[in-house]
Structure 1
Amino acid sequence: MAEDGAAQSASTQAWPLPSFYFKVSVTDVGDISCSEVSGLETEYDMIEYRAGDSPIFTKQKMPGMRKASDVTLKKGVFKDDKAMWDWINGIKLNTIKRATVTISLLDESGKPVKTWELTNAWPKKITVEGFKSDGNTAAIETLILAHEGVNVK
């Protein structure tokens, strides 16, 4: 019996999670039905240093300040769905209601397996993709979020 449990555990860990089943939530805005999320990145600046009396003639490379890339959300345009527009229209001179944005990768039962949290996020730009009279696609709006870091849970 223990062998079956170990074999099952090993087989479920052998498969990576699919990227198509995910959920996006924003505090005070709610769940957002997105078709695409991109830009979950963390990067560090590099500091180069060499002391003048160092016998080694190369620079040391050290991690510096952490940088957070913008995150892009793409979602369909729905009738009476103004949550993102209300959020971005709340921007006044140097003031905006910042939020925690949670992006969860879900398993087959809809439970979060891996979660990324954006700290102090706010909408930087919103764009509605163009319309075509002979097109056959859904109307999409793109929201770009600025934030101060990604935490993986």
Structure 2
Amino acid sequence: MTDGGHLATTYRFRVTFSLTGSDDPDPGAPTQLGTGGFQECMGLESEMEVSEYPEGGRNDGVIQRVGRMKVAKLVLKRGMVVDGTGKVVPELWTWIAEVTSGVRPVRRYDGLVQLLDAGQQSVAVWSFRRALPAKVVGPQLNARTGEVAIEELTLAHEGLRMVTP
């Protein structure tokens, strides 16, 4: 398929989760939640708060001061989290259930979002820190398609940066 004379490229996203070391509340907690493959990923964005300082006597502009960085929640759509054998892992759902039922301290996971090309090669990678499950929308089960997936997973996190693939 082409788009304006150029070959259209289809991308997918792979997400991996690793337990944040400093907050490990349970030595028996899984250090990995598996790897998720998703069709869409939104929220790879950050915004710097900038404050203006109007310096006295300077009439040609104002000084821009650096403020806090705000990051958007990651929203992963239409995917599934599996283990190394390709089976759906219950640990993700257990983590979500523990957070919502008040298990303390809360387990947090760091992770990577990898943009993959058609050959499953990593094109770009973003890392996020100390994620919490903010929202999950389960699959709409349909016996005709046989799909088992997460329709939408929203992660609140404390930092995002692009890393070398």
1:3 corresponding residue in structure 2: none
1:149 corresponding residue in structure 2: 159
Following superposition, the deviation at residue 123 of structure 1 comes to 0.8
| Equivalent pairs, count | 137
Task: From 88, 92, 95, give the equivalent of 1:87.
Answer: 95
> Cα deviations across residues 98-140 of structure 1 (Å, max 9, x unaligned)?
11121112244423231101111111111236679xxx89664
For 1:126 and 1:22, the matched residues in 2 are separated by: 17
Unaligned runs of 5+ in 1: 1-14
- Are positions 1:56 and 2:59 aligned together? yes
For 2:133 and 2:68, the matched residues in 1 are separated by: 23
1:38 corresponding residue in structure 2: 42
> Cα deviations across residues 1-57 of structure 1 (Å, max 9, x unaligned)?
xxxxxxxxxxxxxx8994523311111201012222111001101111123x33427
Name which of structure 1's ranges 114-123 and 18-27 shifts more when overlaid on structure 2. Answer: 18-27
Unaligned runs of 5+ in 2: 1-5, 19-31, 82-86
Secondary structure at the counterpart of residue 88 of structure 1 = helix
- The percentage of aligned residue pairs carrying the same residue is 27
CA 1:121–1:16: 2 relative to 1, 3 Å:
farther
1:123 corresponding residue in structure 2: 133
For 1:76 and 1:26, the matched residues in 2 are separated by: 14
1:106 corresponding residue in structure 2: 116
Larger Rg: 1
Q: Give 1 or 2: higher strand fraction.
A: 2
Letter in 2 for 1:25: T
Instruction: Output the aligned Cα RMSD.
Output: 3.4
For 1:127 and 1:146, the matched residues in 2 are separated by: 15
- Are positions 1:69 and 2:37 aligned together? no
